[in-house]
A and B are shown apart, each in its own frame.
Chain A
């Protein structure tokens, strides 16, 4: 990891002057031959990589309308140039969405357009040289596929589609990214990103059950592989033990308990995340989706609910039906799939859950909209439900809630800096710098409204913020999950909320349970 300085917060989100090349050194580790071959990709860069890359590119142009239209349509208007958090945080002009796309577009023009073939100088067409491939590897791994640029583009050009396509091409010539490809291999073999086998998962869940019972005096269960349960919960594997993720898992369990819903986790499909989306591989993505379908069929469940995870919700909401559907064996009275926030929100609306909101009085909350939830999915029946549902849950369980500035939330939200397959230590510099716009927006409400904590519904956001917030001077436990807040306040059957002892005065920490015991 290169040495770098964490940006200092200025009190506003500033558009930097361009500084060409300042992030050219940022590159993730290249996937080892084993990780490549496990996914059917060549182990290392093939000899005729240039020819193969162009073939693959041509193939993808005929199979993706988005890619074809986006390669043609950009007019270089500049609308997107100040929208990417990685550009705002680094000033490297190749992190401007249009310039990132142009790394691919200049190759498109050279090999696939009349003007680029005969007048390359006129339209900036370039051969796919080793330098260009190097730039691809560097800058297509500085895109978190958050789609913020696509909101502002007059043609809806989505850089996420372009960076996914570039990564797919690189995988096919043997230059894959270690972090994503290794993880996808684990899901195929073991069923989750962490490589956590059934036995270990079972033990972890039993420990959690004990801890909940110690805290609350109520036997809240976290069932695994329970045949014939009504609901299969598919949640990111980070929820099984990472902090603060696990507190939201406890929250889901309490909601299921309080609503007397029969539910289960699956060890075969113990992962909501689908990193195949990040590498642009529909084939890999389908394989992971099919695991979930199989688990649901084998367990004989009636519904599938998805836990707090941003890109997983995009895949589940938008792609499951296409890639692994139709899910006609499930109960048609419920949406397939259903987000845990939809599940909980409906129960709250029906008055089925009771809370003691004062349990969260030591906190003032704000909410970080995760990119894939905000710009690539929906909750409920109405557009924008994905903004309303999590906020309504927070307001139902907390007395103090303040939103961040309007141009940093909802569909304008800034990425945490770690999405899109960048949540790896070898990309720490770009992760920290990319978090700057969100940190500025957070700092504003901390100073103006005394906000103490930020809630999110994404495993990647939670991990990323726990890591980078301390570098900006916030403590790592300032990032919380929505169902973690609910877990603090929900009243279970003994009429008590989970903690007998009140949180100490002036305490900053919202978390109870496993860490404090």
Chain B
């Protein structure tokens, strides 16, 4: 069983990394022929970095759009981030200081994540506009994420797992020295769901994560009069001198 899951998790991680890397390569190689920042926009590169930071760290635009979606979305994403960081304790020995420090918060974060997902699901079902735009994959994605969260919380509060052995397994993955998995159905479910999530990441709307950094309306500097904007293919085609 341990071998099966080790291979599964390696494969899932590989698909995630290669898939997202290929997408990032595609985005960065596709030219942006014109300046289209949504204004008012920053007039300097530093300003653009700050704009993207606010977007990623605080979901600034979503906050303007819908307070409910923002609240549930933020609870989920912030919760997920803390939960992932908390899981570093399985992969580090000795456990890094800051990872030890956030352990108690990570538990609350697990609940926040699931509550956020629940709120998003309720909104998706009850608001007629959002229901109209929701397809099977939209519901399934929430279900998958919630199942990951609930199976994880289940191991903490309902059927505990031998985390000493789990840590040995996790470290074994890191150092290519495979160890047995604890005998826990909930753990197998949890790991299976996580592997599924990693597999579908590069083929699904989860691509919004790299996408936000490549969105021309957000990442372009508002300086078209000061600096002539030319995409790579235009530079080659331009006959007039000048420009950069």
A residues contacting B by CB (< 8 A) are: 15, 17-18, 20, 61-66, 68-70, 72-83, 93, 96, 98-99, 102, 113-115, 121-124, 147, 150-158, 161, 282, 317-319, 321-322, 325-326, 328, 335-337, 374-378, 381-384, 386-387, 411
Contact A317 B127 (CB under 8 A): no
Those of B202-238 within 8 Å (CB) of chain A = 203-205, 207-208, 211-212, 214-218, 222, 224-225, 228-230, 233-234
Beyond A78-B69, A325-B242, 20 additional contacts (C-beta under 8 Å) are A17-B128, A66-B32, A66-B216, A66-B217, A68-B26, A72-B211, A75-B208, A77-B66, A77-B73, A79-B66, A152-B66, A154-B61, A155-B218, A156-B55, A157-B217, A322-B33, A322-B34, A325-B228, A335-B225, A383-B41
Interface-located stretch among B134-142, B163-171, B179-187, B188-196: B134-142
B111 at interface (Cβ–Cβ under 8 A)? no
Closest CB in chain B relative to A89 CB, distance in Å: 15
Closest partner residue, chain A, to B219 (CB atom) = A156
Closest CB in chain A relative to B12 CB, distance in Å: 16
Bound together, the chains give a CA A221 to CA B207 distance in angstroms of 58
Closest partner residue, chain A, to B64 (CB atom) = A152
Contact A115 B212 (CB under 8 A): no
Contact B65 A79 (CB under 8 A): yes
Closest CB in chain A relative to B73 CB, distance in Å: 7
Closest CB in chain A relative to B25 CB, distance in Å: 12
Contact B212 A75 (CB under 8 A): no
Bound together, the chains give a CA A318 to CA B38 distance in angstroms of 11
Contacts of A96 in B (CB 8 A): 129, 132-133
Q: Sort A-B residue pairs by CB-CB distance and give the 7 closest, nearest first.
A: A73-B211, A152-B65, A383-B40, A79-B65, A156-B217, A78-B130, A81-B129
Please tell me which one of the listed residues A18, A63, A322, A381 contacts residue B129 in the complex, with CB atoms under 8 A apart. A18
Bound together, the chains give a CA A68 to CA B151 distance in angstroms of 35
Closest CB in chain B relative to A319 CB, distance in Å: 6
B243 at interface (Cβ–Cβ under 8 A)? yes
Quick one: which of A66, A77, A80 has the most chain B CB within 10 A? A77
Contact A374 B39 (CB under 8 A): yes
Please tell me which one of the listed residues A68, A93, A386 contacts residue B27 in the complex, with CB atoms under 8 A apart. A68
Closest partner residue, chain A, to B61 (CB atom) = A154
Closest CB in chain B relative to A382 CB, distance in Å: 8
Can you name 12 A-B residue pairings with CB atoms under 8 Å? A65-B216, A76-B133, A81-B130, A115-B204, A150-B217, A156-B61, A158-B36, A317-B224, A317-B225, A325-B240, A375-B39, A387-B40
Bound together, the chains give a CA A335 to CA B225 distance in angstroms of 7
Contacts of B135 in A (CB 8 A): 76, 122-124
Instruction: Please count how many residues in chain B sit with their CB below 8 Å of the partner chain's CB atoms.
Output: 62
Contact B69 A79 (CB under 8 A): yes
Contacts of B225 in A (CB 8 A): 317, 321, 335-337
Bound together, the chains give a CA A127 to CA B183 distance in angstroms of 47
Please tell me which one of the listed residues B123, B214, B233 contacts residue A69 in the complex, with CB atoms under 8 A apart. B214
Contacts of B214 in A (CB 8 A): 65, 69
Bound together, the chains give a CA A68 to CA B211 distance in angstroms of 9
Those of B38-57 within 8 Å (CB) of chain A = 38-43, 55
Contact B234 A83 (CB under 8 A): no
Bound together, the chains give a CA A17 to CA B127 distance in angstroms of 9
Closest partner residue, chain B, to A411 (CB atom) = B40
Bound together, the chains give a CA A63 to CA B232 distance in angstroms of 11
Please tell me which one of the listed residues B36, B73, B242 contacts residue A328 in the complex, with CB atoms under 8 A apart. B242
Contacts of B27 in A (CB 8 A): 65, 68-69
Bound together, the chains give a CA A98 to CA B127 distance in angstroms of 15
Closest CB in chain A relative to B65 CB, distance in Å: 4
Bound together, the chains give a CA A383 to CA B220 distance in angstroms of 13
Interface 0/1 of B73-110, CB less than 8 Å to A: 10000000000000000000000000000000000000
Contact A322 B230 (CB under 8 A): yes
Closest partner residue, chain A, to B218 (CB atom) = A156
Bound together, the chains give a CA A302 to CA B208 distance in angstroms of 46
Bound together, the chains give a CA A93 to CA B225 distance in angstroms of 38
Known contacts A121-B136, A124-B135, A383 near B34 by CB under 8 Å: no
Contacts of B35 in A (CB 8 A): 318-319, 322
Contacts of B229 in A (CB 8 A): 321-322
Quick one: which of B35, B61, B65, B134 has the most chain A CB within 10 A? B65
Closest CB in chain A relative to B214 CB, distance in Å: 5
Bound together, the chains give a CA A121 to CA B135 distance in angstroms of 9
Closest partner residue, chain B, to A315 (CB atom) = B34
Contacts of A386 in B (CB 8 A): 39-40
Contact A77 B215 (CB under 8 A): no
Known contacts A151-B64, A153-B61, A326-B240, A78 near B218 by CB under 8 Å: no
Contact B62 A79 (CB under 8 A): yes
